[in-house]
Amino acid sequence: MPNRRGIFLIIVSIVCAVVIIGGLAYYLPSRGQTANSPVTDLSTPVDEVDAPASQDISLPEYSFTSLGYQSGIPRFAELRTIIPTRPRSDVITYTVETGDNLFTIAEKYGLKPETVLWGNYEVLRDNPQFLRPDQSLFILPTDGVYYQWKAGDTLRGVADFFRVDPESILDWSGNNLDLTEVSLETSAIPDGAWMIIPGGKRELKDWGPPAISRSNPAAAAYYGSGYCGEIYEGAIGIGAFIWPTPATYLSGYDYSPSLHPAIDIAGAEGNAIFASDSGVVVFAGWSEYGYGYLIVLDHGNGWQTAYAHLSSVGVYCGQSVGRGNVIGALGNTGNSSGAHLHFEMRSDIYGKVNPWDFVSP
């Protein structure tokens, strides 16, 4: 019986010989070709294969499109590079410019107006009227509160006060907390360190005129020298209010329930200010907390109206005034960045209301 290994070697030798002979046959000159003749292109028609080797072959001229590509999807160089914005985690400062207000600054940085106040209590004291050119304000990287740590504070206590999860304070990279030393109940945060409270919120202090009724006008004694003494009777309003000054457009802040519970009406300094409804004067004169010369009318039906930043006061405490009577002149006193009337309306039932809901030009 033949040796299997020998048979296998014989078969391999035969296959190799066939491959070598076939390769030589492919590269050897065919009939009509010399050893130096070019190999015939397989795509050349049969009737051209036998043509004399000296015959010239006409090739099409090379051409290209102006776009620089023949087919497929082109890829062009884009000279303008868009650099993606990256979220901030730290606090920056902003210098207030002429014409700025709380809302425009907040919009510039994609924040809520309350965040600007919550980040700058030492400067603004929760009062948009305190904003002044050249002030330096802290601008938080996200909506929330900027809080200065006090001795004895804990993360859990601070988080509960500002109504957030403690983890949100821990996880905020801009706070640079060492998680190996800080826990919910105790912390190594030094007294006086400033912390960002992402998503934090608190009540804003209302610096506006307090509720001053004719039965208790002395309640405003702390508010400024314009407060009145005892007042028992006088004109009563009808509950229908008129526009309080000749100009009919705003200049400054519109109504905002928590930030600016009033409207700022435009006008030239010295323009007349009208009583929006009949009532009794319960505050007339200088006010503290940024309102300058101020008049407050009690209308005897649960309503009061306030007129601030006046250039002059034309009424006195206890005076009865009729609806539409001139009571003062528009001005720019107190914390004001331009002549306007700060007009507020208060109801014993609803508190401070949006004037647009009760009066129109």
* Residue 321's CATH number: 2.70.70.10
User: What CATH number is attached to the domain comprising 106?
Assistant: 3.10.350.10
Mean pLDDT, the chain, as a whole number? 84
Intervals of the chain under pLDDT 70? 1-6, 8, 12, 18-56, 62-86, 186
Please identify, among 198, 232, 248, the residue that sits at the C-terminal boundary of a domain. 198
Predicted confidence at residue 207, as pLDDT, reads 79
pLDDT tens, residue by residue, 68-81: 555 555 666 666 66
Q: Are residues 169 and 231 in the same domain?
A: no
Q: Are residues 241 and 345 in the same domain?
A: yes
Q: Are residues 312 and 352 in the same domain?
A: yes
Residue 25 counted as domain residue: no
Taking the mean position of all CA atoms in its chain, how far away is CA 158? 25
Q: Are residues 330 and 257 in the same domain?
A: yes
Residue 157 counted as domain residue: yes
Q: Are residues 116 and 246 in the same domain?
A: no
pLDDT tens, residue by residue, 36-60: 545 445 454 545 545 455 566 777 7
> Where do we find the tokens 């006061």?
313
- Structure tokens that stand for 94 in this block: 């902003």
Predicted confidence at residue 277, as pLDDT, reads 98
Residue 284 CB-density burial (10 A; 0-12 exposed, 13-18 middle, 19+ buried): buried
* Beta bridge pairs of residue 138: 93
Predicted confidence at residue 23, as pLDDT, reads 60
Sequence-distant (≥ 6) Cβ neighbours of residue 247 within 8 angstroms? 265, 266, 267, 268, 271
Residue 317 counted as domain residue: yes
Residue 85 counted as domain residue: no
Predicted confidence at residue 342, as pLDDT, reads 95
Residue 87 counted as domain residue: no
Give the structural domain span for 188: 92-198
Cα–Cα distance, 155 to 175 (Å, whole number): 12
Q: Are residues 224 and 353 in the same domain?
A: yes
| Of 168, 167, 114, 171, residue with least CA distance to 140 | 114
Q: Are residues 239 and 142 in the same domain?
A: no
Please identify, among 149, 169, 198, the residue that sits at the C-terminal boundary of a domain. 198
Q: Are residues 232 and 110 in the same domain?
A: no
Q: Are residues 252 and 331 in the same domain?
A: yes
Residue 20 counted as domain residue: no
Residue 62 counted as domain residue: no
Counted domains in the chain = 2
* CA geometry: angle 254, 257, 260, nearest 5 deg: 45
Residue 137 counted as domain residue: yes
Q: Are residues 330 and 242 in the same domain?
A: yes
